[in-house]
Structure 1
Amino acid sequence: MEAQKWGRIIFCSSVAATTGGVVGPHYASSKSGLHGMMHWIASQYARSGITCNAISPALITGTDMFKDPTPGHLDLIPIGRFGHPEEIAQIVELLITNSYMTNKIVAADGGMVPSVSA
């Protein structure tokens, strides 16, 4: 990527990195660590034409990762529905095609976690 002066690194994180999640502290901690690594990579390689971002989804149905949603899970989502894989794919497309966006964590969580970009 450095030799080509172009590259895109996109990490798949989780809302658990900021909420603690429902799986446990081991999962949430691993995703928080991923955020730290993403920030470091982004700052080190931005001038080389390499962007580095993360997507932080919440509860996405239609995958093996979230097979049995409960009404309690749905109560966690302010917009009142679970996310879909296609919605995550749209964010990936944005991050691939946008060369100005780097060092960002994009929350795809139906409004679970308020965020501010500084």
Structure 2
Amino acid sequence: MGYEIHVSRTEEHYDSAENPIELEDWLSYADASPSLSVGGWLGWDEDRQPIYLHTCADDSVVSLTWFEGGIDIKGYFSSDPYRKFGSLAENFGATIHGDDGGRYTATGVLPPSH
């Protein structure tokens, strides 16, 4: 199913700028990851940044981009994206946020915080 998930260090992904994953840290991680490749660019000139692509086991491709202190992952997920990208979130001391409002780690759903 087509879906968007967010990697963030905050309770709500839209507050990512309050406790950001720094762009430089994200770029270093993504450039070193053998499962990610640059598939395009966002922005122009000195402000542009790469769009990273990840090919899933079923050959579907998802995109990963940094935005205001968080990482957005968009695409078609044929399996549980939380388990697939949970280690990425844990690397940054973050959790995964689904569009459904849930928060997840690589091991499963986190209880509501409020």
Fold in common (TM above 0.5): no
As a proportion of its length, which structure holds more helix? 1
- Mark the structure with the bigger radius of gyration: 1
As a proportion of its length, which structure holds more strand? 2
With structure 2 as the length reference, what TM-score do the two structures score? 0.25
With structure 1 as the length reference, what TM-score do the two structures score? 0.24
